[in-house]
Amino acid sequence: MIVPFVFKVPYDPANDFTPIHYIGYVPNILAVHPSVGAKNVDELVALVRSKPGVFSYASSGIGSS
């Protein structure tokens, strides 16, 4: 997947391929400790924006889903 971004290739990676098979399903979750008090994503976003620098997050890393 990274080759067209690193090297010049003789094809258009966005338009010259046709999907032929479904490869997989990657679910994502958002988990928040109950003490945070947000009951949905909108509430969580509003809370985090109202207190810059107070909250942190973790992810499974660059290139992950």
What pLDDT digit, counting tens, does each position of 17-54 carry? 888 888 888 888 889 999 999 999 999 999 999 999 99
Residue 55 and residue 46 in contact, taking contact as beta carbons nearer than 8 Å: no
**What is residue 49's predicted lDDT score, i.e. its pLDDT?**
96
**What is residue 34's predicted lDDT score, i.e. its pLDDT?**
93
Choose between 9 and 65: higher pLDDT: 9
- The residues spanned by each domain of the chain are 3-50
**What is residue 65's predicted lDDT score, i.e. its pLDDT?**
67
